[in-house]
Each structure stands twice: as structure tokens, then as C-alpha cells.
Structure 1
Amino acid sequence: MTISYNWLCDYLPVKPTPEELSTILTRIGLEVESLEKFEAVKGSLAGLVIGEVLTAEKHPNADKLRLTTVNTGNGEPLHIVCGAPNVAVGQKVVVAPIGTTIYPLDGEPLTMKKAKIRGEESQGMICAEDEIGLGNSHDGIMVLDASLQPGTPASEVFKPAQDYIFEIGLTPNRMDAMSHIGVAKDVCAFLNNIEQTHKYQVQLPEIKALPKADAPLSISVTIENTDACPRYSGISITGVQVAPSPEWLKARLTAIGVRPINNIVDITNFILHETGQPLHAFDAAAVKDNAVVVKNLPAGTPFVTLDDKERKLDAADLMICNGAGEGMCIAGVFGGAHSGVSDNTHNIFLESAFFSAGGIRTTSFRHGLRTDAATRFEKGVDISNVVFALQRAASLICELSGGKAASDIIDVYPSVKVKTQVETTYNYIRKLSGGNYPDDKIKNILRSLGFELLAETAEGFRVSVPFSKPDISLPADLVEEVMRIDGLDNIEIPSKITISPALSAQPDAESVKEKVADYLAANGFNEIFTNSITNSKYYTPEVLETAVKMMNSLTVELDIMRPSMLETGLESVAHNLNRKNEDLLFFEFGKTYQVLEKGYGENNHLVLYLTGKQTAETWLHKSSPVDFYFLKGFVINILKQLGYKQFVWAENTEAGLQPAWDIKVKNQVVVTLGGVPAAKLKQFDIKQAVWFATFNWDKILGLLQKSDNFYKEIPKFQAVRRDLALVLDKSVKFAAVEAATRSVKSSLLQQVNLFDVFESEKLGANKKSYAVSFTFLDPQKTLTDKEIDSVMDKLIKTFETQLQAEIRK
């Protein structure tokens, strides 16, 4: 939220300095993120003075230059060489003496120095308007009113606007502070609290009586959808002259970053930022049959908005229509191309209304129209402020455009809204806030903010909430109001805190996550965070059947909650590859979402993305690309970090990876890994291989909670290794060897590992040899050869029976 210091001070009974006001705003919860000086003219004409040209003679060494002497009211006249063709004796001009810095519209600032131009001394400059930022003309020097006195500062003559601009970081619930008057109310409440008084009140602008038009222009108002529009007010004004706004109005809007357009539109924008109430002005010629109807139009109805784009309306979009049923404006969001104020407008119908916050928010997001009006309506404007803002705007329009009121104010308010009531106790406020507030201070703060005390007991009270604060409905909301107006920095911080330690299930989920993240970061991985809202075009129709779709998507590219982690990660991979960052090791903790038979489901994941080279190329080692086995190594190490040493590998034909493997622990799939298919990579314009692994983190944690092997003591006894060379068919994968090994039940066998693969015709047709190591350990004692040989014999028989293996001697 942008607030002008000068504008805000118009409503304050006192005028703190910008720095004091910045401190006050931050103390009451309106955090000032920046405070900057605003200058309508860069430099504000500092150092420039009014001068009188005393003499103007031809330069002896240049045909287009003149030698002048100029009286600047400071003793001896200045000798200035001037190249302007219109310089003449007796003119009052703007002079930049030596030492003055000027700020041209184009180019860098320039500080005046004593100089010689073609052999003649020059003690400054006689200025054109573009040279000092007052305009675009460079046809000659500025010639001013002859009555001006030499030596008068130029800033006193032109009075360039100066201001201080506050950027306030508003929280979403603070719609009451989305205007200058709203902020002024908080400041006055703070001042009242400091002095325990009620003398500081917002100085509301005077509303002058409206001049009456000779001929009436009566326009009726009908609300067909009173749920979406509980209140609608308007007035007809005739004889307006659409023209540029006066300088004071332009300066107010320009200071807060709003571009002036014309006096009518500028006044509606001014009232928006003054009161927080959006307004809209219609060209009365577009209000056919002199009737305004607030209603919904059929779905698919085309409507051309102010930006000349045709939009298809939804049946839920509330519209402001004329008597012929034609849409003139998307209510509370955006005006129409054919009903707005133009240079040819002479009669207007001015609207001020209250629209349902939910409906405006839905329509605004649906059409991608995030306007200032929609931003305020969707948070809930002050329904009691509708007519005041209309009167204020009508008064300014009549004053600045020459218009006259051609009707009384129409106010259609079929069901008067009742104020919310909140009841609480003084002890509750003190307990929840941690502040020892006296009862009178609490009541004084709430009264200063516009709350009305309805009932009071020794223990507590009941208040009605002003319509300007639609977010307040609970006792805790009152606590927040008291705390911030008294000053958030006034809450005492206790010297000690007493807590009871809480017991949690072991191992702790956050500790497990941190352990894995530390391992990956130590091995060169970077953690990424991708958007859980993604683009439906990435997925097949089968996947989208169970995808969670966004009701109000921010853009057409972000319309579903991600059903898998792969695609959002590939966006990050593509982003890096497009910037020549080609060797990537990424990991991410995130969630996927799906529609269930009853409600929705979400699953936690850890995912890995690998692409590019394994290590940087050096003179000693050539680099090799990452591959399935490089990925597999990290996956296995992560499982081992978590205490798992026994798991089952199984091919997966439905994972959408090539190749694709599942790793199972206790018959549950905990990891799926493989290569990203070429078709998927093409979707993201990725031209190099990407390897992907996804851990079902919920299952990982669930199994850990039931396991006692997360922390284990280092064994005291020595492990024993035995090796076997197995001759097998080439079709037999090592996973089958592992499965056969597990079928031999032995508490001594701790680990099986493939350390060599050999293929040769000497082994026989379609044969290969696996060199496999077996590690044995008894944590209670030293193993004997007899015990180990017994298990090895069982293993050999199993391999021969199940895999038709031959044991190489």
C-alpha cells in the first residue's frame, strides 16, 4: 500500500514529521517498508533564481551566441553566454548560477561552473524548460511574467510538488488501512491512546452542496441479485467538461504511482485512495432507457472490456447493465469499452456500490483482472461509506469539471446490514496479549477505532464492530486491535519461560529429513523448492482423471495441484540448462495430490534429479555422464542412512520411466527410480538424459516408526566375507540372486554384493559369471568356519536349484 505524507496529513489534526509518522505506523502494525522523498520536478528547482536580462549583445566569435548580463538580485549582474534565439533585454528568465545543479528531462544532472565559451566568460545559464525538468520545449529560454522580482527562488514561483511516500506492508486482513483516511484513523487512535483522550479525530473533507442542473436526468436503479450486491448508489451529473485535472490532483495521484488520465477518472481514483471506496463513472449516453440493472448475464455472453479485449462471461459474473440488458461493466472489477468516460462525454452516471467479496474475487481471478477496485472489494469495503464516497466524488466533479447534479442521490439498500457484535473479558485480552492493560485503556483504544460499547460488566464487555473492519469477528481480533494501537513494541518480554518437555515418536520426522538432506548436500546436491500448482498440459488424460483441479487458477498455466513431482522438477532442470548450467544434482521434499473416493489425498515425497556429468573434467580423470548406476548409488546410500540393509528390487512397467525399478521394504514400494523418457524430456525442451528417483516419504517414515534399527551400536566382533562365482544365463538379473539369497533364512548373513560381471564364450552360449560376496556377522560372538560353511552350502544348493547356476571353482 502506497501512502502520501502530504495527503495523509490533510486528515490529521496534528502534523508529525515523516520520520515520526513512519515510527508510529510501524508501531501500530502498518509496517513501513520504505520511506522515500517524492519530487514532481527532479531537484525541486533548488538554487535556480529569477533573473532580469539587462543587456544582450552579439558574441564577437560566434554568430548564434549572445553575450548577456543578468540581474539576479544579488549584487553584480552575471555575465552569461546564451545560445537561445529568443533572448532579449527586459525579459524575466530562470537562471542557474554557478554551483547550481540542474536536472534535464533527458541526460545526466549538470552542475554549473565558471566557463569560457568561445573566449568569453559565462557565469551560469539562462534555462529552457526542458533543461530544468519543467516541460519538453527546447525552442528557447523560458520567458516569465514581467512582474516577477529578480532574485526570487524559482521554487517559489513554480512551486513544484514535494512529498514523502510510505510503502506499507499490509497484511491481507487490513482492508481498513487501504486508504489514506483509514490510515489516519489508526494514527488518531494511537495519539489518543498516548494521551488517554479522544481529542484526536480524523479531519474529514468538507462536502459542498451540489449545484443543481436546469434539466433533470433521472436514471433508475434495480438490483436483481441482492446477495452479490447488497447496496448500490448513484447520481446523475450533467454538463461536465472532460479535461486534464488541476495540478494539485495530478500531484496527489502521481506521488502514489497512479497515472493521471482526465478530471473525471482522476477523481474516482482519488476517492478510491482517499476513502477506500471504488467508484465508476458511466457515460450517461450509454445508459439506455435511463436504467441501471445489476444482474447476471447468461454464460458465454461476450463483453468487451476497457482494454478492448472480448471476454466470455460466466453465469456467476455480476454485471452492471443498462435498460436494454446490455452489459456496461463487470461489477466491481473492470469497466466496458463502450460505456466509459471519453473526451466527448458531457453527462455521467456516477456509481458507488458494495459487492460481495467472494463473488468479486472469483470473477477477478477467472478473467485475470487484478484491478485496484477488485483488490478492495474482494477484501470487503465499508458498506456504510458508500454514500459518503459518492457525495465526495460528486462534489469534486462538479467543482473541477463544471458539472451539475441532475438527480438526487439514489441509494438502493434493500436489507440494511447489521453490525457484528463481539463479547470478551478484560482478563482474556490481558492473558492472550501478554500485556497488563488497564480496563480504561482497552475501552479507550476500541472507542478511538470506532467500536461502540454496547454492554459492560466488571469482568468484560460487548462491542459492535465498525463496518470498516469486516475481518473482526472474534475476541482474539479485539486483542490484536488493542495490542497494535498501544504499540506492539510495548509488550514486555518475560525474563524466563516455563515449559513442559513434550515427548514425540521416535525417530523424529524432522530429524530424519535433516539427516537425509545433510547427506545429499554434502554430496553435491542442491535443494530446490518447486510450485505445487502446475500445468495440466504436462499430464495424460488418465492422470488428470484423479488430479486436483484449481477452482480459481491464477493463470491458465497453473490450473492443477501436481499429481507427481517429476514435471515441476523438470521445469527447474530446463531453466538451469537454458542458462548453461548443465551438470545438475537436485533434491526436493514435496507433496503430490490426488482425488480420492472420499475427499482428497496428499503424499509426501523425496525426489532426486540427476543430469549432466558425474564430476568435473580434469587432466587426471575424464568425466563420464550420470547414469542409472550413479543414481542407484545415492538411493541405496540414503536407504542405508535410514538403517535399511535388506530390500527387494522389482522391475516397474507402469512408472513412466525407462528403465524403471521399484525398491521394496517389507513388501512396500518405498522408492521408484529410472530414466526420464525422451517424450517427457521433449515437453520441456531438454536435450540430455535426466535420471529420476522418488521416495514415498510417508511409507519411509511409517516403516521407521515401527523399526528398531535406526540407531545401532557398532558390533564388537569381526565380520567374515566369502565369495562365490556363479555361472548363469544372461537373462538372470542380480535381483534374482538377491531374492534367492534372502530365501535362505540365516541371521548370520548380513550383506550380499555383486563385485564383478564376466562374459566369455568359454563360459558357454548365453552365459555370464557373477562374482558375489557374502558378509557374515554374529553380534554376540566370533563366527567359526563350520557355521559359515553351513550357510554357504545352503546358498549354493539354492542357487543351483532356483537359478540353475553353476559354481565356478
Structure 2
Amino acid sequence: MTISYNWLCDYLPVQPTPEQLSVILTRIGLEVESLEKKETVKGSLEGLVIGEVLTTAQHPNADKLKLTTVSIGGAEPLNIVCGAPNVAPGQKVIVATIGTTIYPIEGEPMTMKKAKIRGEESQGMLCAEDEIGLGRGHAGILVLDASLEPGTPARQVFNVSEDYVYEIGLTPNRMDAMSHLGVARDVCAYLNNENNNQDYSAKVPAIPALPKAAVSLPISVSIENTLANPRYAGLSITGVKVGPSPDWLKNRLQTIGVRPISNIVDITNFVLHETGQPLHAFDATAIKGASIVVKNLPQDTPFVTLDEKERKLDAADLIITNGAGEPMAIAGVFGGAHSGVKDDTTSIFLESAAFASASIRPTSFRHGLRTDAATRFEKGVDIAQVPYALQRAAALICELAGGQVASDIVDVYPDPKPKAQVTVSYTYIHRLSGKAYPVTRIHNILVSLGFEILSQTAESLTVAVPYSKPDISLPADIVEEVMRIDGLDNIEIPATISIAPSLSAQPDKERIKEKIADYLAANGFHEIFTNSITNSKYYPEEQQASLVHMLNSLSADLDVMRPSMLESGLESVAHNLNRKNEDLLFFEFGKTYGVSDKGYTEHDHLCLYLTGHKTPEHWQQKPELVDFYYLKGFVINIFAQLGIKGLEWEEATDGGLQPAYTLKAQKKAVAVLGAVSGAKLKRFDVKQAVWYADMDWQRIIKLVGQKSDKFFTEIPKFPAVRRDLALVLDKQVKFAAVAQAAAGVKSPLLQQMNLFDVFESEKLGANKKSYAVSFTFQDAQKTLTDKEIDSVMEKLVNTFTSQLQAEIRK
């Protein structure tokens, strides 16, 4: 939000300095992010004065220079050497005296010094317009009106002004401060609270009597959708002459970054930034049937907007139409190309209305039109201010554009909105704010802000909320108003703070998440955060029905909530690969979304993305590419970090992964991992292998919750014992089958098994291979005996021979 210091001071009963005002604004919750000085002319012509040329004479040492004497209203004239060809006695000119700094249109600023030019003394400079920033003319010195008095400051003659511009970091709920008058009301409330003996209020401009036109131009108004448009007011004005705005109005708008267009448009913009109420002016000749109807039009109705683009209207868009049903404007968002004010417009209909934010926001996003009007309507406007803003703009149009009022004010307000009422106790204010405010101070602050005290007791009070604050509905909102006007920095920090210890839910999801993130980061992974909104074109036609489509998507490439983490992760991988960052270890915690007959769903995931080499290129070893086993190791370690055991592996079918494997715990899938398919890589223009793991984080958290939320166990005091077996099996038997068979023995002594060698040879027999497997045994309570270990090994051998038809190599 941009605020002009000079403009704001028009409404303040006192004028603090720009720096003081900056402090006040920040104290009352309107944080000043920057304060910048703005000048209509660089340097504001400071130090330049009007002079009268008394005499001129040829310079004795230069053909193109002249010696002049110039009066600037002092006792003695100045001797100035001048090179302008047009200098002559009797001229009124601009003089830069000794010590004055001038700011030319081009080049660096220059400070006047006493000097000798070709041997002759010069006590200043006679200025051309480009030398002082007034224009680009350099044919000679600037000759002014002969009636001007010598010694008059030049800034008075040229109406040069300077201003200060505040950039305020406005929070979304503060629509009441989205105007100069709104900010002025807050400042006055602060001043009242600071000086309890004062009763300051913002100086709201009065509405003068408006000139009446000889011929009336009545235009009727009807509202078909009163939910989206609770109030609509308008007024006809004839005899207007569209043209440039006066300098003061242009300066006001330019100072806050608004480009002047014409007097009519500039006035509506001025009143918008003055009051916060958006306005729109229609060319009256475009209003067929002398009537305006506010309604919704059929889906895909074509409409050409002010930017000359044809847009297809949505059935939910609220439209301003004429009596013939033709659209003239998208209500509260953007005007039409054929109904707007043009250079030859002589009659207008001025609109001031209140449109519901629930209608404006989707329409604004749907068409990609983020206008000043839409920004204000979507936050809510002061519905009581609608007729005042209309009259204020009409008065300025009559004054600056020669208009005359040609109708009565039409104000359609079928269901007047009552003021919201809030009851708050003084105890609650003290408890929430941490400060015991005097009751009189609370009352003074609320009344200064426009609240009406309906009733009060020794314990509480009930207030009616002003229409300018539609965000206030709770007692906490009242406390916030009191705190910020009194000053948040006026709340003392207590010497001691009393808190009640709380126990976090078990398992502690954030602690678990942090532990795994730390593990991955320590092993070279980088965490990524990708967009939950993605492109529906990534997914096949048969999946489209289950996608969650965005209602207000601004881009065709971002139109659905992602049903899978893979695609958004591959976008990040492709982005890095395209910038020659080719060795990647990524992890991401995120959500996926879906829709079914039962409603919308969302699911938590942890995903890993690996591509490139395991380690950087080095002279001691050749770099190795990441592979499935590298990915599998990290996945297994994650489950080990969380104490989840008894994992089972199965081959899987996944459209995005080839090959794919499913990891199960307690017979339920907890992860799927594998190589991203060639078709998927081609879709994202990725030209190297990518390995991917998608872990069901919600199910993992449930598994952790079934055991103690402790990620450590005491180191056993008693030694572990290792035994090895060499198993000869058919080639098609996978190690997963061996591990599953060993798990079926269910011995508490067997802590770990590991495949440490695979051997294939014709000596083993046709279609045979050998697995060398180690088994680790341990008992936390005692040292194991050979007899105990032999008993378990015998069971393992019997299981392998009976279930897998294994032979034991001796």
C-alpha cells in the first residue's frame, strides 16, 4: 500500500514530520517498509531565485560571452558572465546564486561557486530550462513573465512541490487502511490516545452544492443478484469535457505510482485512493434503454474489455449490463471497451457500488485481472460509504470537467446491513494483551476508531463495529484494536513468565520427521519443496476423473492438485540437469490429493530421487552411478532408524517405474521404489537414469506409534556370534525368498542375516547358483552356547531344504 505524506496531511488536524509519522504508522500496525522523498523537479529548485537583467556588455576576452548585471532584490546587483545568445536587459530570468546546487536533466548536479571566467568575475549563473530540470530546452536562458518580482523563489513561480511516499506492509485484514482517509482515522485515534485532552478526527472533505443540468438524464438501476451486489448507487452527469487533469491531481496520482489518463478517470482513481471506494464511469450513450441491470450472463458470453481483449464470461461472473442485456463491465473488476469514457464523451453515468468479495475474488483470478478495484472489493469495502464516494467524485467532475448533475442519486440497497456487535470483557482484554488498560482508555480508543459503545458494565462492554472494519467479529479483534492504537511497544515485558508444561502427542510426528531429514541430509541429500499444484497433462485420460481440479487456476500448466509426487520431483530434477547439476540426491516430504465418491483425500509421503554418480570424480577411484541397491540401502536404513522391522519385498507393477518393487510391513505396502520409466523420463526431457522411492509416511507414522517413541536401545553386554551357510538354489529363487524362509523360523536369537556373495558356475549344476549368507545371533541376557546356536542353525537348514529345495555346500 502506497501513501503520500502531503495527501495524508490534508486529512490530519495536525501535521507531524514525515519521520514522526513513519514511527506512528508502524506503532499502530501499519508497518512502514520504506520512506522515500519525491520531488516534481529534482532539487525542488531550492536556492534559485527570479532575477532582472539590468545591463549586458560584450566580454572583453571571449566573443560568445557577455557580462551582465542582475538584480535579485538585494542592495547590490550581481555580476554574472553569461553565454546565452538571447540574454538582454529588462528580462526576468532564473538565477542560481553562489552556494546553490542545480540538477540538470542530463549530467551530474553542480554547486555554484564564485569564479572568474576568462578573467572576469561571475557571481552565479543565468539558467536554461534543461540546466535546472524544468525541460530539455537549451537554445538560451529561460525568459519569464515581466511582472515577476526580483528575489522571488523560483519554486513559488513553478509550483514545485516535494512529497514523501510511504510503502506500508498492509496485512490482508486491514482493508480499512487501504486509503488515505482510512490511514488518517487511525493516526487521529493514536493522537487522541497519546493526548487524552484532545479530540482529533480526520478532516473528511465536505460535499458542495452540485450544479444542476437543464435537461435531466435519468438512468434506472436494478439488481438481480443481491447476494453478489448488496448495494449499487449511481448518478448521471452531462456537459463534461474530457481532457487532461490539473497539475495538482496529476501530482497526487503520480506520487503514489498511478499514471494519469484523463480528468474523469483520474478523479475516479483519486477518490479510490482517498476513500478506498472503487468507482466506474460509463459513457451514458452506451447505456441502452436508459437502464442498468446487475446480473449473471450465460456461460461463455463474449465480452471485449478495456484492454481490447475478448474474454469468455463465466456463468458465475457478476456483470453490469445495459437495458438491452449487453455486458458493459465485469462488476468490480474491469470495464468494457465500448462503454468506457472516450475523448468525445459528454455525458457519463457514475457508478459507486459494494460487491461481495466471494464473487469478486474468483472472477478476478479466473480472468487474470488483478485491478485496484478488485483488490479492494475482494477484501471488503465500507458499504456505508458508497453514496459519499459517489458525491465526492461527482463534485470533482463538476469542478474539473465542467459537468452538471442530470439526475437524482439512484441508491439501490434492498437489504440494509446491520452493524456487527461484539461483547468483550475487560478481564479478557487484560489476559490476552498482557496489559491492564484503564477503562477510559479502552473507550477512548474504540470511539476514536469509529466504534459505537452500545452498553457497558463494570466487567464488559458491547460495541457496534463500523462498516469500515468488516474483518472484526470476535472479542480478540477488539483487543487487537486496543493494543495497536495504544502501541504494541507500550506493553511491558514481565520479569517472569509462567507457563504450563505440555506433553506432545505420541508419536511426535515432527520429531520423527526431523530425525529422518537429519539422517538424509547427513548422507548428502538435499531437501526440495515442489508445488502441490501441477499439470493435468502429466496424467493419462483414465486418471483424469480422480484428479482434484483447481476452480480458479491462473495457468493451464497448473490446474490440478498432484495425485503423485513423482512428476513434481522430476520437474526439479530436470531443472537441475538442464543447469549441469547432474549428481542429485533429493528428498521431499509432501502431500498428494485425490477425489472419489467418498470425497476429497490427501496423503503424506516421503520421496527420494537419485540420479548421477554416488561420489564426485576422483583420481583414486572411478565414479560409480547410483543404482537400485544404492536407493534400497537408504530406504532400508530409514526404516531401521525408526525401528520398523520384518520388512517384505515384492515385485510390483507401476506405470511410472520399470522395474518396480513394493516394500511391505505387517502385510501392508509402506513403500514403492524402482527406476523411473523411459517414457516418464522422456516426458520431462531427462536423459539419464533416475531412481525413485515413494514411502507412505502416514502408514509409517502409524507403525512407529505401535511401539515406543524411542529411537535407541542399550548396547548388549554379551557378544554376538556369526555363522555362515552356502546355499545352492535354482537360479530363479531370489534372496527375498531366503530371507522370508529364515524369518519363518521365528527365533529371538537371530538378529541379522546378510547376503555377502553370489556364485554361479557349471560345477554347481545346470541352472544353479550359490548364495553365501551370514547369520548373526545374540542374546541380550547371556552369552550364547554352541548348542543353542546349532539348534537354530539346524532349523534354518531344514527350512531351506524343505521350502526352497536348497543344497548346503560343505
Q: TM-score, normalised by structure 2?
A: 0.93
- The residue identity in structure 2 corresponding to 1:279 is L
Give, in whole Å, the separation in 2 of the partners of 1:118 and 1:450.
70
Closer, same or farther: CA 727–44 of 1 in aligned 2, 3 Å? farther
The 3-state SS of whatever aligns with 2:190 is helix
Give, in whole Å, the separation in 1 of the partners of 2:104 and 2:661.
69
The 3-state SS of whatever aligns with 1:181 is helix
Give, in whole Å, the separation in 2 of the partners of 1:427 and 1:786.
76
Partner of 1:349: 349
- The residue identity in structure 2 corresponding to 1:178 is M
- The residue identity in structure 1 corresponding to 2:559 is D
What aligned pairs does 1:433-452 form with structure 2 within 5 A after superposition? 433-452=433-452
Q: Are the aligned partners of 1:56 and 1:88 in contact in 2 as well (CA < 8 Å)?
A: no
Q: Are the aligned partners of 2:658 and 2:675 in contact in 1 as well (CA < 8 Å)?
A: yes
Q: Are the aligned partners of 1:723 and 1:771 in contact in 2 as well (CA < 8 Å)?
A: yes
Closer, same or farther: CA 619–307 of 1 in aligned 2, 3 Å? same
Give, in whole Å, the separation in 2 of the partners of 1:551 and 1:9.
44
Q: Which stretch has the larger CA shift, 222-231 or 398-407? A: 222-231
- The residue identity in structure 2 corresponding to 1:721 is R
Cα-to-partner distance string for 1:58-92 (whole Å, 9 max, x where unaligned) = 99788xx555647374867465564x665556544
What aligned pairs does 1:530-609 form with structure 2 within 5 A after superposition? 530-609=530-609
What aligned pairs does 1:423-438 form with structure 2 within 5 A after superposition? 423-438=423-438
What aligned pairs does 1:476-495 form with structure 2 within 5 A after superposition? 476-495=476-495
Partner of 1:702: 702
Partner of 1:794: 795
- The residue identity in structure 2 corresponding to 1:631 is L
- The residue identity in structure 2 corresponding to 1:784 is T
Cα-to-partner distance string for 1:440-468 (whole Å, 9 max, x where unaligned) = 22222211111112223333232221111
In the TM superposition, residue 648 of structure 1 has moved relative to its aligned partner by 1.3
Give, in whole Å, the separation in 1 of the partners of 2:767 and 2:107.
81
Q: Are the aligned partners of 1:728 and 1:767 in contact in 2 as well (CA < 8 Å)?
A: yes
Partner of 1:200: 200
Residue 2, structure 1, aligned to residue 2, structure 2: yes
The 3-state SS of whatever aligns with 2:144 is coil
| Percent identical | 70
Partner of 1:726: 727
Q: Are the aligned partners of 1:276 and 1:381 in contact in 2 as well (CA < 8 Å)?
A: yes
Q: Are the aligned partners of 1:548 and 1:561 in contact in 2 as well (CA < 8 Å)?
A: yes
Cα-to-partner distance string for 1:763-802 (whole Å, 9 max, x where unaligned) = 4444433332221111111122232233223323333333
Q: Are the aligned partners of 1:752 and 1:775 in contact in 2 as well (CA < 8 Å)?
A: yes
Give, in whole Å, the separation in 2 of the partners of 1:297 and 1:621.
71
Give, in whole Å, the separation in 2 of the partners of 1:56 and 1:564.
88
Closer, same or farther: CA 505–482 of 1 in aligned 2, 3 Å? closer
What aligned pairs does 1:455-470 form with structure 2 within 5 A after superposition? 455-470=455-470
Partner of 2:39: 39
In the TM superposition, residue 718 of structure 1 has moved relative to its aligned partner by 1.3
Cα-to-partner distance string for 1:700-729 (whole Å, 9 max, x where unaligned) = 111111124732111111112222333333
Closer, same or farther: CA 329–607 of 1 in aligned 2, 3 Å? same
Partner of 1:774: 775
Cα-to-partner distance string for 1:123-178 (whole Å, 9 max, x where unaligned) = 87655434443334455543333344555543333233311111112221111111
Closer, same or farther: CA 782–124 of 1 in aligned 2, 3 Å? farther
The 3-state SS of whatever aligns with 1:373 is helix
Closer, same or farther: CA 587–401 of 1 in aligned 2, 3 Å? same
Q: Are the aligned partners of 1:241 and 1:345 in contact in 2 as well (CA < 8 Å)?
A: yes
What aligned pairs does 1:281-292 form with structure 2 within 5 A after superposition? 281-292=281-292
Partner of 1:711: 712
The 3-state SS of whatever aligns with 2:555 is coil
Residue 299, structure 1, aligned to residue 290, structure 2: no
Partner of 2:640: 640
Partner of 2:744: 743
Give, in whole Å, the separation in 1 of the partners of 2:86 and 2:667.
95
- The residue identity in structure 2 corresponding to 1:792 is M
Closer, same or farther: CA 71–639 of 1 in aligned 2, 3 Å? farther
Partner of 1:71: 70
In the TM superposition, residue 34 of structure 1 has moved relative to its aligned partner by 1.7
Partner of 1:805: 806
Give, in whole Å, the separation in 2 of the partners of 1:269 and 1:535.
38
Give, in whole Å, the separation in 2 of the partners of 1:662 and 1:307.
55
Closer, same or farther: CA 290–59 of 1 in aligned 2, 3 Å? farther
Instruction: State the superposition RMSD in angstroms.
Output: 2.7
- The residue identity in structure 2 corresponding to 1:723 is D
In the TM superposition, residue 280 of structure 1 has moved relative to its aligned partner by 0.2
The 3-state SS of whatever aligns with 1:29 is coil
Partner of 1:383: 383
Closer, same or farther: CA 80–794 of 1 in aligned 2, 3 Å? farther
Q: Which stretch has the larger CA shift, 473-482 or 87-96? A: 87-96
Q: Are the aligned partners of 1:729 and 1:766 in contact in 2 as well (CA < 8 Å)?
A: yes
Partner of 2:786: 785
Give, in whole Å, the separation in 2 of the partners of 1:598 and 1:121.
94
In the TM superposition, residue 350 of structure 1 has moved relative to its aligned partner by 0.6
Closer, same or farther: CA 733–122 of 1 in aligned 2, 3 Å? farther
Q: Which stretch has the larger CA shift, 499-508 or 169-178? A: 499-508
Q: TM-score, normalised by structure 1?
A: 0.93
Give, in whole Å, the separation in 1 of the partners of 2:29 and 2:205.
26
Closer, same or farther: CA 291–506 of 1 in aligned 2, 3 Å? closer
In the TM superposition, residue 338 of structure 1 has moved relative to its aligned partner by 0.8
Cα-to-partner distance string for 1:605-647 (whole Å, 9 max, x where unaligned) = 2222222322222222332332222222222222221123431
Partner of 1:158: 158
Residue 324, structure 1, aligned to residue 336, structure 2: no
Closer, same or farther: CA 236–595 of 1 in aligned 2, 3 Å? same
Closer, same or farther: CA 96–528 of 1 in aligned 2, 3 Å? farther
Q: Which stretch has the larger CA shift, 405-414 or 345-354? A: 405-414
Any stretches of 5+ residues in structure 1 without a counterpart? none
The 3-state SS of whatever aligns with 2:692 is strand
Q: Which stretch has the larger CA shift, 483-492 or 388-397? A: 483-492
Closer, same or farther: CA 633–132 of 1 in aligned 2, 3 Å? farther
In the TM superposition, residue 657 of structure 1 has moved relative to its aligned partner by 1.3
Give, in whole Å, the separation in 1 of the partners of 2:60 and 2:281.
58
- The residue identity in structure 2 corresponding to 1:603 is H
Q: Are the aligned partners of 2:79 and 2:121 in contact in 1 as well (CA < 8 Å)?
A: no
Give, in whole Å, the separation in 2 of the partners of 1:233 and 1:408.
10
- The residue identity in structure 2 corresponding to 1:286 is A
In the TM superposition, residue 550 of structure 1 has moved relative to its aligned partner by 2.3
Give, in whole Å, the separation in 2 of the partners of 1:255 and 1:636.
63
Closer, same or farther: CA 346–773 of 1 in aligned 2, 3 Å? same
Q: Which stretch has the larger CA shift, 459-468 or 572-581? A: 572-581
Q: Are the aligned partners of 1:56 and 1:87 in contact in 2 as well (CA < 8 Å)?
A: no
Give, in whole Å, the separation in 1 of the partners of 2:793 and 2:762.
28
Closer, same or farther: CA 725–40 of 1 in aligned 2, 3 Å? farther
In the TM superposition, residue 115 of structure 1 has moved relative to its aligned partner by 9.2
Give, in whole Å, the separation in 2 of the partners of 1:641 and 1:72.
91
What aligned pairs does 1:682-697 form with structure 2 within 5 A after superposition? 682-697=682-697
Partner of 2:614: 614
Q: Are the aligned partners of 1:329 and 1:335 in contact in 2 as well (CA < 8 Å)?
A: yes
Give, in whole Å, the separation in 2 of the partners of 1:145 and 1:179.
40
Closer, same or farther: CA 135–796 of 1 in aligned 2, 3 Å? farther
Closer, same or farther: CA 176–142 of 1 in aligned 2, 3 Å? same
Give, in whole Å, the separation in 1 of the partners of 2:121 and 2:658.
83
Cα-to-partner distance string for 1:500-541 (whole Å, 9 max, x where unaligned) = 322334442222111111111222222222222222222223
Any stretches of 5+ residues in structure 2 without a counterpart? none
Partner of 1:221: 221
Partner of 2:472: 472
Q: Are the aligned partners of 1:507 and 1:710 in contact in 2 as well (CA < 8 Å)?
A: no
- The residue identity in structure 2 corresponding to 1:185 is R
Closer, same or farther: CA 620–327 of 1 in aligned 2, 3 Å? same
Q: Which stretch has the larger CA shift, 120-129 or 571-580? A: 120-129
The 3-state SS of whatever aligns with 1:418 is coil
Closer, same or farther: CA 554–103 of 1 in aligned 2, 3 Å? farther
Give, in whole Å, the separation in 1 of the partners of 2:565 and 2:89.
79
